[in-house]
Amino acid sequence: MSNSIENVIKVGTTKFWINSKAILCCKFCNENPNYRLDTIRAKRYIKVITKLCNGKAMPFLIDVRGVSGTFTPNAANLIAQSPLLKALIISEAFVFDSIGIKLLTASYKRIYDPIIPYRMFNDIELAEHYCIETKNKFNGSN
């Protein structure tokens, strides 16, 4: 998941960009275990994602390797229920390296967002391949 595209937008310690395969990439870099994503930051994420996607639906590759912390229920609900994001997300591929983050992500998806297809990976290339597959299926091509 290279940052080779020049249009990287940072919000705090989180980076967003569209890669060369038309996948929205998100890299969370927070290492503070006491951090909680709040609604103010969630709104900024939605604004940045909306700007980057520019109306085009695409898969999201979300890299949460090395991340600590959690989110407030209001922030999670805001992101999951955003009509702007719902119109843009084809699928989500989460890349993790700890069981805690895998469980947190699975809980988030089950409670807040059970509709959008997703998979969890511990390998970035497999996650990108999943994104390409779902994008091709969405666009009706192989």
- pLDDT tens readout for residues 17-76: 999 999 999 999 887 788 888 999 999 999 999 999 999 999 999 999 988 888 889 999
Dist CA 134 CA 9 (whole Å) = 24
CATH code, domain with 123: 3.30.750.24
Is residue 131 one of the residues assigned to a domain? yes
Name 37's bridge partners: 71
For residue 88, the 8-state DSSP code is T
Q: What mean pLDDT is reported for the chain?
A: 91
Q: Where are the beta strands (DSSP E) in 6-87?
A: 9-11, 14-18, 24-27, 36-37, 58-63, 70-71
Contact 141, 135 (CB under 8 A): no
Report pLDDT digits (tens) over 75-127.
999 999 999 999 999 999 999 999 988 998 999 999 988 889 999 999 999 99
CA-based R_g, the chain, Å: 14
Is residue 23 one of the residues assigned to a domain? yes
CA distances 50 to 56, 110, 121, 124, Å, are: 9, 24, 25, 23
Number of domains in the chain: 1
Which residues are CB-contacts of 53 (< 8 A; sequence separation ≥ 6)? 18, 24, 88
Judged by DSSP in three states, 119 sits in strand
Q: For the whole model, what pTM was predicted?
A: 0.90
Dist CA 131 CA 95 (whole Å) = 12
Q: Which residues constitute the domain of residue 91?
A: 9-139
Is residue 1 one of the residues assigned to a domain? no
